[in-house]
Chains A and B, each alone.
Chain A
Amino acid sequence: MSEPISSGAEWTFELIEEYHAEIANIAEEFKLDTYPNQIELITAEQMLDAYASIGMPIGYSHWSFGKHFIRNEQQYRRGHMGLAYEIVINSNPCIAYLMEENTMMMQALVIAHACFGHNSFFKGNYLFRAWTDAEAIIDYLVFAKRYISDCEERYGIDEVENVLDSCHALQNHGVDRYKRPNPVSMREEKERLKEREAYLQSQVNDLWLKTVPQKEATEEDMTQPNFPEEPQENILYFIEKNAPLLEPWQREVVRIVRKIGQYFYPQRQTQVMNEGWACFWHYHIMNTLYDRGRVTEGFILEFLQSHTNVVAQPEFDSEYFSGINPYALGYAMMTDIKRICVDPDEEDRKWFPDIAGSNWQETLDFAMRNFKDESFVSQFLSPRLIREFKLFSILDDEQLTELEVTSIHNDAGYQHIRQALSNQYNLSMNEPNIQVYNVDTRGDRTLTLRHVPHNEIPLANNREEVLKHLRRLWGFDVKLETLDAEGKVKTTDECAA
């Protein structure tokens, strides 16, 4: 048994380094593969700053970040909101912000949670690997900030703000779900910038040149091909490449917003896994520290209290209930996978023949690398957990006056609940499916979007506001057609000049 590293609540830089070294050793024993860490100590106010820019360490200036800042600051000052103990950024080196108010225990917890948990998740998970480039993100943000402030100087704050507003309205529709995007880096961006501006403009011109009416045009009207040939789900990309009236710098701004949206895209799909993974490892690492006598009893008790709060799941009728807590579900599932590997029972062998009894570290590593929330739940949610959480599913059909309990935590319900919960994390079911359907290339250049409702869930009323933004980018009229269940156009929203 060795001596505890520290016994007081106060932290110092030396102690943080000592804890980090100790935790790094343990993490290595557990075979966690991480980016190098960069730990930054910040104040509460700086944490608020970081909140406002959604955790981006460097962001371009925009009023909406100011709005978020003011709102958070108000809530924080009135005591309506606590601040996170840490923020961690998916970059290489992995940047983690620690608040100075934290106790020594919290700092150690945060190091285990963020600097090793989240960090290894960022490095290992397939979505992050495919969608983000940890090497380049900081450089890209620097580039984006500089580019946008240059534009503001050259074209005026209002002009740039208008474009940014419109892009933000469509930021969730700026991702190619099926293509591997190009990683971004600042140097390349700069080199390609000039080239791209010229090229983009020529492409756009090319498209519209063909629209100069020709003699046979009237006869061809009937067979006019659709443009784009296939519906495009990446609206921002479509705008960037095809909007006829955008200036080159405006296209670049569209691109910047799109790229940054893409950077956050994996985070939205891996919340349960990411938090679950980080909680699972901080729990193991902290306990290992305790087992080896490197921390005191007081330390581990303080930790357990904090840990229990984080992974608590209030029941649906509790006043604290606000949906399923991703920390709770994720942590429970990760722990459960370990249990299935180490100590499987009959039920587990039946439900998880592949992993029951296997090496738990390898299995967890595999799960972390190759899934997102949706597939993770549908693959690994065990009947035992469904019973523990007492999960039940409810069908809410607007047409009926009553809700129906479709399944509960019993034999008949496991499969259904697992599927329903998985769907709940499926972005494509939770975000409206809207695609660029057609451009009237021969007529008035109207852009038509199509919305295919999922389960007849309508779009919120502010869609007209979004259409106005789209119109500003497109430069000509835009239309939004909503299809009914048969695939026929049911309603149309229009935004004309």
Chain B
Amino acid sequence: MLEGIMVGLGTAFSLTNLLMVIGGCLIGTFIGMLPGLGPMSIIAIMIPVAISIGDPSAALILLAGVYYGAIFGGSTSSILINAPGVASTVATSFDGYPLARQGKAGKALTVAAIASFSGGTIGAILLMIFAPALATVALLFHSAEYFALMVVGLSAIAAFAGSGQVGKALLMTLLGLIMATVGEGALFNMPRFTMGVMDLQSGFGFITLAMAMFALPEAMYLVLDPSRSNTGGGSSEIKDLRITRDEAKAITPVIGRQSIQGFLIGVLPGAGATIASFLGYAVERNIASKEEQEQFGKGSVKGLAAPESANNAACTGSFVPLLTLGIPGSGTTAILLGALIALNVSPGPRLMVDEPQIFWAVIISMYLGNLILLILNLPLIPYIAKILAVPRNYLIPFILFFTLMGAYIGQNNATELLILVGLGICATVLRFADYPLAPLLIGFILGSMLEDNFARSMQLYDGLGFILERPMTLGLLALAIILVVLPSYRARRARLRAEGAADAD
């Protein structure tokens, strides 16, 4: 392996390849900041350029740089304007945006950058050491386990079910699950619940819904409720990158845990970065102490660090099935696989043996890409954060423009804009009535995967037998229950103890 690493280092550190990583990272970061252009579309745009380079190592290094840059840039719009452009950064906005609203945009971006860097780097190290061994892990999960994993992911909504909000959060989750059933599912050959509207035949678009639930109501809120319209731009703290010692202490174990957990979830072809980010958020919230739990959803640095390290580690993890089995676990790795084949590289168990320089160059470039992203981005953060200091009568049209563009850009379908505005108005009303909107989006994103995997398991086992027949499924379902029940149990015990102490007086 050492020999391989040396070959990889030699390849990755040539001048052209270094320029490729830097160029790729820059392109990825800037395009990735636009909502609506996720890593998948940016890589698709860059592939002809990469193929024209000819040298497979250089081409892959460029694409890996673009990939990391895009993931990195994607969290910026989530944090600054509450507009998550890709599903895997939805969880980032839960705590990132509240932090920005409190005038701590600089700090939020820094935490995100450090968490991303650590997640990506730890992921790359795990990939380097364990890739061949993990090929079997990738195939461990069947549909039944994926179903159970989605249930664990749903427990993330607990973060939005504060006191008196439980009913509202459940209602919104249900609404999200219902919306996920619109259109053609993977399991039926007829469209459902489209009410004859042709544009609903493919279901609601993720970007449209994310913009309608998060960014649009936020912009409208700023217009309709000027008293609460402080965008956080006035304070001088906005450019401040510094993280206090306490905060650093709080996020270090979170980043460590979530980098490993996120990586392992990324290895599973049916899960990916989005699930990893929700699970990371859910797990960290539910194991946090009572006081810290209160902060989740309101601007907790832990709540920001968890999904950011998890989604970056998961992106690295998704290279395991791609490089060792030739199976793409996500849309992005499917496109990367296409690029590999076009470059005459056959991914699979033989890649490491036949063309070690490519295998190792990719892994080294991951590490390098993460490092360069951190170096490039930290100095830029104050300038990016200053966007929020723009006066609100300029800022709001800017947010609206990005929101509408995000929904239109991928599909070129103007009806998406009508759906966006319609849903956005409903979402604004719900916001004023104090309904949390995040559970709706979580329900929507997990809904179709939940349904598909559940139905597949039912079909394979001719009924619900899979829950008892597969111990791992049962274990994961039990974990989901524990994650939801544990916090309230602990709270109750603490209360009882407090009462007991009072009685003793």
| A and B associate in one complex | no
